Amino acid sequence: MLHSRKLQYIDEIARCGSIRKAAARLNVASSAINRQILALEEELGAPIFERMPRGLKLTAAGELCIEHIREVLKTYERMEARIRGLKMPQAGKVSLVATVGLAAGPLADIIARFITQHPRVRVHLRNDGPSNTLHPVLAGEVDLGIGFNIAATPGIRTLANFDIPIGAVLPPGHRLAQEEGPIDLADMAQEPMVLAQPGTSLRNVINLALAPLSVPVEPVVESNASDMLKKLVKAGIGLTLLNPLDVLPECRRGELVFRPLANPHARHQPMKLFARSRTALDTATSLFLEFLLSELAAMVSELQAKGHLPPQPRDAQRE
């Protein structure tokens, strides 16, 4: 591709914040990268990096430049994938970002089934906190994003919405796990609790659900890692509140029990699947998207049959 090396250099420096680190990752000399930066800055007539004591920072011109560079690189990747597809059907790469809970929960099984059916497609999964899932999609670093409590954002198009309420997660041998149907939060509050860390979107939802209780809940453990919370519940350290998708694999294996909340004030976590507005999805990503939507719809139906999810609104379909 014309100027491809120069574009890759600039992109890597923006990610690393350092010529030295970018040179090491690209296995080229720092001087070669520096020459490319100076040449581009001269061509544009404006600096694209601000030289800081501890590295480089994009200038306003650099922010515009890197947006264009990443769009060009993504377009080139899509063209390469389409050319490979002419020689090798269903070859390609899918990149997505998800919250830690979804990555540690149902996504692993979904991706495994997809790769089994489409072994020539590569999948790259990032797992970030809820507040960090938007940026990689907006920046063009990944094709798809999936997360909870994602606000409407310019430059982002919604592909699907699902209404997912939080609920109680218990070890199978616990006395409250022996009952069926919704559970009252007041009963849970009498037990040791392990909860999402304050400041996370999940904890905000939990705090709203716990607010009407007359007794404050003091968790014995707080963590931003849902996998850690699930392990603590299995070990009998305490009960937790998560959404049913995060614990579906463990519930299927009989390692955990999920019960919906009986409280009418219990809050939900809207789950959104989204992509960048101005970017068309390539063949491999479209193929994965259809597979993912089908799998999520099947999971939602399974949870509804168990009484763990309410009926989904009409817009819980692909938009």
Question: Any idea where the domains of the chain sit in the sequence?
Answer: 4-71, 89-163+270-305, 167-266
pLDDT at residue 90, rounded to an integer: 55
Architecture of the domain delimited by 89-163+270-305: 3-Layer(aba) Sandwich (3.40)
Q: CA separation (Å) from 129 to 72, 101, 155, 243?
A: 27, 9, 20, 15
Alpha carbon distance 315, 293 (integer Å): 13
| Identical topology for domains 89-163+270-305 and 167-266 | yes
Residue 168 has pLDDT above 50, yes or no: yes
Per-residue pLDDT tens digits for 60-110: 888 888 888 888 887 787 777 667 665 555 568 899 999 888 887 889 899
pLDDT at residue 177, rounded to an integer: 92
What's CA 27's distance to the chain center, in Å? 30
- What average pLDDT does range 260-288 have in this prediction? 84
Residue 319 has pLDDT above 50, yes or no: no
pLDDT at residue 4, rounded to an integer: 67
Q: Considering the domain 167-266 in this protein, what is its CATH number? A: 3.40.190.10
> Between residues 98 and 133, which one has the greater pLDDT?
98
Residue 150 has pLDDT above 60, yes or no: yes
**Maximum distance among all alpha carbons in the chain?**
71
Closest-CA residue to 254 (of 171, 176, 142, 145): 171
The most confident of the ranges 18-32, 46-60, 68-82, 169-183 is 169-183
pLDDT at residue 131, rounded to an integer: 56
pLDDT band at residue 313 using 50, 70 and 90 as cut-offs:
low
- pTM, 2 dp: 0.67
What is the third-level CATH fold of 4-71?
Arc Repressor Mutant, subunit A (1.10.10)
